[in-house]
Amino acid sequence: MSTLSEAYTDHPLHLHQIIPLDFDSVRAVPESHVWPNSDDDFPPADVDDHGQFTTPVPVIDLSDPDAATKLIGHACETWGVFQVINHGIPSSLVQEAESEVRRLFSLPARQKLKALRAPGGATGYGIARITPFFSKYMWHEGFTIMNNSAIDHANTLWPNDEHARFCDVIEDYQKKMSILAEQLTKLIFKSLDISEEEEEMDQWWVDPSTALQLNSYPSCPDPSRALGLAPHTDTSLITILHQSSTIINGGGLQVFNDGVGWVPVVPVSGALVVNVGDLLHILSNGRFISVLHRVFVNQNLQRLSMAYFYSPPTGFRVAPLTKLVNSSGQVPRYRSVTVREFISIKAKSLDKALSFIEN
């Protein structure tokens, strides 16, 4: 059976496209990591009377599913991103997971390199997968987990008993994320008036393609010249993101909104961020926005995030939903592709991937 990690083995990378900088050892931003005027196009974020950042990205309460469904549909159409509260994931679990992520990235560089992603591999320690598309490196280190891969890598990171806590917490987090992702997906389809039977989605819940991406953006000697993560859209159906509460002037995570420009996604206590990915954009025939996002860094503070990518099984064919296309009198904007095929197109062409499957 085709797995998500196999979908990445077709695109081996060179070691310089995998090994992060040893951020602890640098006192200045090396030329390889200098981005020209990365914050020029970003106006200062709004601040309210209490000196708090205001966030126009919708925050949606999941405790009333009917009200949430409408708000989610609207947010997917106008933003491609929203935050959710009362999502059922215990805050203690999120905090434990964050502290395990902090423990991982605090290891010495030579130790982290023991879990380096293999050139043709998908899981383990390394820089962002989008790196080959840019001429500069990002101020970022990541750790990718698929299925049970945390165990294999954690064994090499922490040879003694110290890996058990990491593995237990991460496994629990993955399980809870998959339940929430399924719930959110169902609400999203309900907002489109699509029922699960129509789209034969039973296999989705049994065998979804998922990945947990742990991200660290170390403090940076000159944040205005560096970039944590370059603008990209996620390949997934949806992504559920926890970001550490680190307040970064102008926003750590920023999303692009057509009318507004770059907007910070300011951390809301207990909230999780939900992004629309490319696959949902295709299914919704372009109605839902696959949101462009990027990350800025801070001079004094490390920022952490955990992104859970959720997609249909790799063999599933994704195409604009028939009912949606028919009822709106539109034509399908995209041809059908399997999830695996789309991952492969994206790995080769990044932001042009959607245009390659346009009708």
Ligand X SMILES: O=C(O)CCC(=O)C(=O)O
- In this structure, what token pair is assigned to residue 321? 């939903």
Instruction: Give least dist CB 19 to ligand X, A.
Output: 18
Cβ closest to ligand X, residue 208 vs residue 320: 208
Among 314, 241, 306, residue whose Cα is nearest residue 279: 314
Q: Which partner, ligand X, Fe ion, none, binds residue 241 by CB below 5 to 8 Å per kind?
A: ligand X
| Residues 157/115, Cβ–Cβ less than 8 Å | yes
Q: Does residue 122 belong to the site contacting ligand X (CB under 6 A)? A: no
Per CB under 5 A, the segment of 15-23, 95-103, 227-235, 324-332 that binds Fe ion is: 227-235
Rg (CA), the chain: 20
For tokens 């009708």, the residue is 359
Q: Does residue 234 belong to the site contacting Fe ion (CB under 5 A)? A: yes
Of the residues 307, 337, 343, 353, which one makes contact with ligand X according to CB under 6 A: 307
Q: Which partner, ligand X, Fe ion, none, binds residue 253 by CB below 5 to 8 Å per kind?
A: ligand X
Q: Does residue 229 belong to the site contacting ligand X (CB under 6 A)? A: yes
Round to whole Å and give the CA distance between 161 and 11. Answer: 34
Q: Which partner, ligand X, Fe ion, none, binds residue 305 by CB below 5 to 8 Å per kind?
A: ligand X
Residue of 102, 303, 317, 333 with catalytic role: 303
Of the residues 38, 131, 213, 244, which one makes contact with ligand X according to CB under 6 A: 213
Give the amino acid at 170. Answer: I
**Which H or E run contains 276?**
strand 272-276
Query: In 244-318, which ranges are continuous DSSP H helix?
Result: 278-283
Q: By beta-carbon distance, which residue lies closest to ligand X?
A: 305
Cβ closest to ligand X, residue 231 vs residue 286: 231
Buried b / exposed e over 135-148, threshold 16 CB at 10 Å, is ebbbbbbbbbbbee
Round to whole Å and give the CA distance between 127 and 131. Answer: 7
Cβ closest to Fe ion, residue 69 vs residue 235: 235
Round to whole Å and give the CA distance between 78 and 117. Answer: 36
Q: Which partner, ligand X, Fe ion, none, binds residue 213 by CB below 5 to 8 Å per kind?
A: ligand X
Q: Does residue 295 belong to the site contacting ligand X (CB under 6 A)? A: yes
Round to whole Å and give the CA distance between 106 and 216. Answer: 10
Cβ closest to ligand X, residue 87 vs residue 293: 293
Round to whole Å and give the CA distance between 81 and 109. Answer: 34
Per CB under 5 A, the segment of 85-93, 143-151, 179-187, 231-239 that binds Fe ion is: 231-239
In terms of DSSP bridges, do strands 317-318 and 209-217 run parallel, antiparallel, or are they unpaired?
A: unpaired
- In this structure, what token pair is assigned to residue 356? 């390659």
For tokens 């998959």, the residue is 178
**Active-site residue 103, yes or no?**
no
Of 248-287, binders to ligand X (CB under 6 A) are 253
Half-sphere exposure of 323 (CA within 13 A, CB side): 11
Cβ closest to Fe ion, residue 75 vs residue 307: 307
**DSSP-derived 3-state class of residue 3:** coil
Phi and psi torsions of 119, nearest 5°: -55, -40
Cβ closest to ligand X, residue 325 vs residue 350: 350
Instruction: Give least dist CB 12 to ligand X, A.
Output: 21
Per CB under 5 A, the segment of 10-18, 204-212, 233-241, 249-257 that binds Fe ion is: 233-241
Of the residues 220, 241, 263, 337, which one makes contact with ligand X according to CB under 6 A: 241
List CB contacts of 91: < 8 A, sequence separation 6 or more.
270
Cβ closest to ligand X, residue 117 vs residue 293: 293
Q: Does residue 100 belong to the site contacting Fe ion (CB under 5 A)? A: no
**Which residues bind to Fe ion, rule: CB under 5 A?**
234
Residues that are catalytic: 303
Q: Which residues bind ligand X (CB under 6 A)?
A: 213, 215, 229, 234, 241, 243, 253, 293, 295, 305, 307
